[in-house]
């Protein structure tokens, strides 16, 4: 997954500053359309119109639609993980997990963000048909899982987790709670299930910490 | 959501026994294709070929594609909830929840079923663009949640849950764990996250029950 700023066209040409701005505008508009409608229902023509560019510009920057989709995946992983960056770096207490929960809830209480997790949606749509897309998304989920696991390990090192709580499993459970809570948010059009599942896990941790 | 056997065509005509068989064959083939490829990428022509029927037969039974999609949603809700029916009726002990977890894991350890939960996938794809589809899917999730909640309430009635475990929240957490675990199953191509999240919640319950 690209972490450095993108500076190349599809054919490997270095982009000017203005070229990079155009590249990022196209990715951002494509990401918004694909989040709203799904990848299959977003046509290159729709992205052209939204970003105010020509088909040949999109081809120059991304090649075929697959190239644009992979750039959208990078953008969404950075955006999802970036939102939580200061939080993700120090998820090592119940209070920090509560703050992380509150950020996620506040984002998805906004009706425009009730289409689920951008990473989760792309996974549902692409994981079978596009192996490279799946690998990029998995790399994003792994970073997220790692941040949660590191925080739980730090809690254990400080004696705040009993032995029977496995930081590996609990990190996956927290990540699944976000993803599943957001699937249910799409069906329900509210964040009740998302909040309930994160609270249930955090309460379990608190329960454990009391021992 | 239809629970009785379907006996009508799109225009309300009663179907013969043979007509009902054809109806069900079309729905079953359409459900399989939509699970594999997504709804948007499944053309009526693909369903025709798979079910060995004509376009006019599909139109007779379902009207436009939307009608077929709603029949697929009913089919998938029945199929997902039906699989667990004997289990869903009595999810009132840690052992029963473990048995339910084992059924879900065994289904999704099969690579053909690693495209996530059929209900979750349809929710991701349709909840925004198709309000009636969303309502049908939500009704399915509500039935699932209810079964989990009833089991937890029975545990509480028998004094097996401490007061601070809220059956409502915990039922949503279990449902979200399945949905989120299955989003991660799609990215990972294994059931490690699904198993970890269900085990984490069941362990929390056991932890509570020990008090």
pLDDT in tens, B26-70: 999 999 999 999 999 999 999 999 999 999 999 999 999 999 999
- Interface size, chain A vs chain B, as Cβ–Cβ contacts under 8 Å: 173
Kindly report, residue by residue over B115-173, the tens digit of the pLDDT.
899 999 999 999 988 999 999 999 999 999 999 999 999 999 999 987 778 999 999 99
pLDDT value at residue B88: 84
- The CA distance from A53 to the nearest CA of chain B, in Å, is 26
Q: C-alpha distances in angstroms, A47 versus A29, A59, A174, B95, B199?
A: 6, 12, 34, 52, 43
Q: Is there a contact between B144 and B88 (Cβ–Cβ < 8 Å)?
A: yes
Query: Do the Cβ atoms of B187 and A125 come within 8 Å?
Result: no
Using a CB-CB cut-off of 8 Å, the residues of chain B touching A186 are 123-124, 127-128, 134
Query: Do the Cβ atoms of B134 and A187 come within 8 Å?
Result: yes
Query: Do the Cβ atoms of A187 and B141 come within 8 Å?
Result: yes
3-state secondary structure of B14: strand
- The CA distance from B194 to the nearest CA of chain A, in Å, is 8
3-state secondary structure of A187: helix
The b/e string for A87-120 (b: 16+ C-beta within 10 A; e otherwise) is bbeebbbeebbeebbeebbebbeeeebbbbbbbb
Phi, psi of A130 (to 5 degrees): -130, 90
Query: Do the Cβ atoms of B176 and A169 come within 8 Å?
Result: no
Mean pLDDT of B100-127: 92
Q: Pick from A169, A188, A199: which is nearest to B145 by CA?
A: A188
Tokens representing B188 are 């990972």
DSSP 8-state class, residue B165: S
DSSP 8-state class, residue A6: P
Task: Flag whether pLDDT at B91 surpasses 50.
Answer: yes
- The CA distance from A114 to the nearest CA of chain B, in Å, is 9
Query: Do the Cβ atoms of B124 and A121 come within 8 Å?
Result: yes
Instruction: Please tell me which of the candidates B168, B176, B197 has its beta carbon nearest to residue A184.
Output: B176
Fold of A84-210: Tetracycline Repressor; domain 2 (1.10.357)
Query: Do the Cβ atoms of B183 and A180 come within 8 Å?
Result: yes
**What percent of chain B has a predicted confidence (pLDDT) above 90?**
77
Q: Which residue of A has its CA nearest to B168?
A: A196
CATH of domain B17-72: 1.10.10.60
Q: How far apart are CA B61 and CA B74, in angstroms?
A: 15
Q: Which residue of B has its CA nearest to A188?
A: B138
Query: Do the Cβ atoms of B38 and A36 come within 8 Å?
Result: no
Mean pLDDT of B95-109: 94
Q: Pick from A146, A149, A119, A153: which is nearest to A133 by CA?
A: A119
- Residues of chain A with pLDDT below 70 are 1-7, 84-85, 207-211
DSSP A144-175: HHHHHHHHHHHHHHTT-S-TTS-HHHHHHHHH
pLDDT value at residue B34: 96
Q: Is there a contact between A150 and B175 (Cβ–Cβ < 8 Å)?
A: no
Provide the CA B172 distance to its chain's centre, in angstroms.
15
Using a CB-CB cut-off of 8 Å, the residues of chain A touching B189 are 134
Biggest CA–CA distance in chain A, Å, is 63
DSSP A22-76: HHHHHHHHHHHHHHHH-STT--HHHHHHHHT--HHHHHHHHSSHHHHHHHHHHHH
pLDDT value at residue B28: 97
Task: Flag whether pLDDT at B2 surpasses 50.
Answer: no
Q: Pick from B207, B182, B211: which is nearest to B197 by CA?
A: B182
CA-based Rg of chain A, rounded to a whole angstrom?
A: 19
Phi, psi of A14 (to 5 degrees): -65, 135
- What are the extents of the domains in chain B? 17-72, 84-210
Query: Do the Cβ atoms of A125 and B125 come within 8 Å?
Result: yes
Tokens representing B18 are 């043979």
Query: Do the Cβ atoms of B196 and A168 come within 8 Å?
Result: yes
Query: Do the Cβ atoms of A37 and B187 come within 8 Å?
Result: no
Instruction: Please tell me which of the candidates A116, A141, A199 has its beta carbon nearest to residue B169.
Output: A199
Question: What confidence tier does B8 reach under pLDDT thresholds 50, 70, 90?
Answer: confident
Using a CB-CB cut-off of 8 Å, the residues of chain A touching B37 are 129
Using a CB-CB cut-off of 8 Å, the residues of chain A touching B149 are none
Please enumerate in sequence order all residues whose Cβ is within 8 A of that of B119, keeping only pairs 6 or more positions apart, or say none.
Answer: B76, B77, B80, B137, B140, B141
Instruction: Please tell me which of the candidates A169, A181, A193 has its beta carbon nearest to residue B199.
Output: A169
Instruction: Please tell me which of the candidates B116, B168, B172 has its beta carbon nearest to residue A124.
Output: B116
**What percent of chain B has a predicted confidence (pLDDT) above 70?**
93
Q: How far apart are CA B11 and CA B21, in angstroms?
A: 18
Mean pLDDT of B176-186: 98
């Amino acid at each position: 997954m690209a972490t450095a700023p993108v500076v190349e066209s599809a054919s490997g040409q270095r982009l000017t500053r203005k070229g990079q701005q155009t590249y990022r505008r196209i990715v951002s508009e494509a990401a918004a359309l694909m989040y709203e409608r799904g990848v299959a229902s977003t046509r290159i023509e729709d992205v052209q119109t939204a970003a105010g560019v020509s088909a040949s510009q999109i081809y120059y920057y991304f090649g075929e639609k697959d190239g644009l989709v992979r750039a959208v995946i990078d953008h969404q992983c950075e955006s999802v993980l970036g939102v939580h960056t200061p939080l993700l770096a120090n998820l090592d207490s119940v209070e920090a997990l509560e703050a992380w929960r509150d950020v996620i809830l506040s984002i998805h209480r906004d009706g425009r963000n009730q289409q689920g997790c951008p990473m989760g949606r792309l996974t549902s749509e692409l994981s079978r048909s596009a192996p490279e897309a799946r690998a990029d998304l998995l790399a994003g989920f792994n970073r997220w899982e790692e941040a949660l696991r590191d925080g739980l390990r730090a809690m254990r090192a400080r004696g705040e987790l009993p032995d029977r709580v496995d930081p590996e499993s609990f990190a996956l459970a927290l990540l699944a709670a976000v993803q599943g809570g957001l699937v249910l948010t799409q069906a329900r059009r509210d964040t009740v299930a998302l909040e309930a599942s994160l609270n249930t896990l955090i309460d379990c941790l608190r329960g454990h910490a009391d021992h």
